[in-house]
């Protein structure tokens, strides 16, 4: 690094080239499809590098989630090399090379060091940016200036703004030094412009360039810092961490759909429990999900907090075991506190009523959407999970068998188990549903007939006073 201020990671004009013999990245750990793409580009005379998170993860001995390639070939030139290739993205064109279920993303080196808000990350975080329009730009006008291409529509809106550059310019658009290493397929060396290798060894997250400027360019980088802190167990360098407290409210200006995507990456990729801890400690939960942060701050050490943490721990275990996880269940966990608070704001006699529960869900979802979008299919799922809780707590004879068939039964049952674990629902009912699912059809009949004769069976309306008292003790039970 050639910066006078050692704490600012300024890219050097030439990389430190670390030969194959001096680093640990082996082609055995690189996806064969990524290698195919790299070799093909190299053989066609282009530069081709693995870049970003995959290089970082390979150095850490982790299995990369996906492999990204950077090249000096222009997108059209990349496309010509592969039959299974599509160009995506309007603002920044990227090539996606498809191999069955695996997609290798190939990006041309870019010279834009200061992307405008929402331009990063590339294609996948901006669903509207999906397929680039090839034919539907009748009024589009192209202006070429020194290797860049800007396409504007009749109203002046920028449709495409590609500014291609060289690899040493490309480094600048990367966020953290650990994410800015390039693995060169020409000789298997590693190119390091920013001290990324040393930072990875020290398990340190450091923004490239002036941290405040880089967070202002793209406030999502604050969430990315928290995500990598949680995922990798890295420490955020003090100079990178410092501006976060003052800048976190800039997340208000980020498109809500992008914040939803980031939220899923924080909580559904195997380190959700740690993400919650980091987001709270860095004051970022208040900027991302203010109502959830307020609830947790107002109820320290509450059963709801324990339920949320345990739910995230369970979700992390599922991710590790390659089991499916859903945004619906995640938001049911995150919004449990706000939903319970909204229920408890109603008169106690109404807490069990479906209308109260649904109104509480709707209010909690509305409040949660100040910063991020929760797509309808997930918020409706949360509603169904909570609406099913009273039916799970008080099964009504043979109707219980129909509840088993409900498409949201499994998620609602998992929530019931968690609630029961923390005394927020009767444990014997959770066990009963477990038995019912495991039972053979004839035994199921006996189980539901037995419950019909017990206190948990059909409920008279209005509820008895005793039930109400029990509910009060079960602080924050959502039914």
3-state DSSP call for residue 76?
helix
* Active-site position among 66, 124, 161, 239: 66
Where b means 16+ CB within 10 Å and e means fewer, 172-211 reads: bbbbbbbbbbbbbbeeebbbbbbbbbebbeeebbbbbbeb
Annotation says 129 is catalytic: no
Residue among 126, 129, 175, 237 that touches ligand ATP (CB under 6 A):
175
Tell me which residues in 200-219 interact with ligand ATP (CB under 6 A): 218
Q: Which residue is nearest to Mg ion (CB)?
A: 53
Active-site residue, 218 included: no
Least spacing, CB of residue 213 vs ligand ATP, in Å: 12
Q: 30, 41, 51, 53: which one contacts Mg ion (CB under 5 A)?
A: 53
Sign of CA dihedral 310, 316, 319, 325: positive
The DSSP-derived string for 191-230 is EESSSHHHHHHTTEE-BBS-HHHHHHH-THHHHHHHHHHH
CA distance 11 to 206: 12
Give the number of other Cβ atoms within 10 Å of residue 446's Cβ. Answer: 10
Q: Which is nearer to ligand ATP, 176 or 409 (CB)?
A: 176
Q: Where are the alpha helices (DSSP H) in 48-206?
A: 53-60, 75-81, 167-173, 196-201
CB of 154 to ligand ATP, least distance (A): 30
> Does the active-site annotation cover 175?
yes
| CA distance linking residue 388 with residue 395, whole number of Å | 10
For position 68 contacting ligand ATP by CB under 6 A, the verdict is yes
- Separation between Cα atoms, residue 108 and residue 147, nearest integer Å: 12
Residue from 1, 58, 69, 87 nearest 33 by CA: 69
Catalytic annotation, pick one of 57, 68, 126, 218: 68
CA distances from 230 to 180, 218, 251 (A): 19, 20, 19
Q: Which of Mg ion, ligand ATP, none does residue 120 bind to, with CB < 5 to 8 Å depending on kind? A: ligand ATP
Task: Tell me the window of 2-10, 17-25, 173-181, 315-323 that interacts with ligand ATP (CB under 6 A).
Answer: 173-181
CB of 280 to ligand ATP, least distance (A): 21
DSSP secondary structure letter of residue 131: B
Per-residue binding letters, 82-121, with ligand ATP (x by CB under 6 A): --------------------------------------xx
We find the least distance from the C-beta atom of residue 227 to ligand ATP, in angstroms, to be 7
* Options 72, 129, 170, 175, the catalytic residue: 175
Stretch that binds ligand ATP, among 31-39, 220-228, 291-299, 470-478 (CB under 6 A): 220-228
Minimal distance, residue 65 CB to ligand ATP, in Å = 5
Give the one entry of ligand ATP, Mg ion, none that residue 174 binds, where binding means its C-beta sits below a cut-off of 5 to 8 angstroms depending on kind.
ligand ATP
The residue with tokens 């039972």 is: 439
Instruction: Give the CA angle between residues 74, 77, 80 to the nearest 5°.
Output: 155
CB of 68 to Mg ion, least distance (A): 6
Instruction: Please give the full DSSP string across 8-52, using - where no structure is assigned.
Output: SBPPPSSPEEE-GGGS---GGGS-HHHHHHHHHHHHTT--EEEET
The answer to whether residue 199 forms part of the interface with ligand ATP (CB under 6 A) is no
Binding site for Mg ion (CB under 5 A): 53, 66
Binding site for ligand ATP (CB under 6 A): 52-53, 65-66, 68, 120-121, 173-175, 179-180, 218, 220-221, 224
Residues recognised as catalytic: 66, 68, 175
């Amino acid at each position: 690094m050639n910066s006078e201020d050692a704490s600012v990671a300024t890219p050097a004009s030439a990389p430190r080239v670390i030969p194959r013999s001096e680093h640990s990245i082996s082609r055995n750990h690189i996806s064969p499809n990524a290698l195919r793409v790299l070799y093909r580009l190299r053989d066609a005379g282009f530069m081709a590098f693995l870049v970003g998170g995959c290089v970082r993860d390979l150095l850490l001995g982790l299995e990369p989630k996906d492999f990204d390639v950077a090249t000096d070939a222009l997108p059209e030139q990349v496309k010509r090399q592969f039959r299974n290739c599509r160009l995506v993205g309007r603002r920044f064109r990227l090539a996606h090379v498809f191999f069955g279920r695996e997609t290798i993303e190939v990006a041309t080196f870019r010279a834009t060091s200061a992307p405008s808000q929402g331009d990063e990350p590339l294609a996948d975080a901006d669903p509207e940016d999906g397929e680039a329009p090839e034919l539907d730009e009748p009024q589009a006008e192209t202006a070429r200036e020194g290797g860049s291409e800007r396409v504007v529509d009749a109203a002046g809106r920028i449709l495409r703004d590609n500014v291609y550059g060289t690899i040493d310019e490309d480094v600048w658009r990367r966020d953290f030094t650990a994410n800015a290493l390039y693995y060169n397929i020409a000789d298997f060396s590693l190119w390091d412009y920013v001290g990324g290798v040393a930072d990875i060894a020290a398990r340190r997250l450091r923004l490239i360039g002036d941290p405040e400027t880089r967070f202002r360019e793209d406030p999502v980088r604050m969430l990315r810092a928290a995500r990598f802190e949680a995922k990798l167990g890295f420490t955020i360098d003090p100079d990178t961490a410092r501006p976060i407290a003052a800048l976190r409210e800039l997340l208000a200006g980020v498109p809500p759909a992008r914040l939803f995507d980031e939220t899923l990456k924080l909580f559904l990729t195997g380190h959700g429990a740690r993400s919650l801890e980091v987001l709270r400690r860095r004051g970022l939960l208040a900027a991302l999900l203010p109502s959830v942060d307020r609830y947790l701050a107002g109820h320290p050490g509450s059963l709801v907090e324990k339920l949320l943490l345990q739910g995230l721990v369970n979700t992390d275990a599922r991710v590790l075991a390659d089991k499916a996880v859903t945004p619906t269940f995640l938001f049911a966990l995150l919004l449990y506190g706000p939903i319970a608070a909204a229920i408890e704001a109603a008169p106690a006699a109404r807490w069990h009523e479906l209308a109260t529960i649904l109104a509480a869900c709707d209010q909690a979802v509305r409040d949660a959407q100040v910063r991020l979008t929760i797509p309808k299919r997930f918020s409706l799922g949360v509603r169904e999970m909570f609406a099913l809780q009273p039916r799970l707590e008080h099964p009504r004879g043979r109707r219980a068998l129909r509840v088993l068939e409900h498409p949201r039964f499994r998620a609602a049952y998992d929530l019931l188990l968690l609630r029961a674990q923390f005394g927020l629902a009767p444990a014997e009912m959770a066990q009963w549903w477990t038995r019912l699912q495991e039972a053979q059809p004839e035994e199921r009949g006996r189980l539901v007939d037995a419950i019909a004769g017990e206190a948990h069976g059909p409920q008279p309306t209005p509820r008895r006073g005793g039930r109400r008292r029990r509910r009060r003790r079960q602080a924050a039970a959502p039914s």
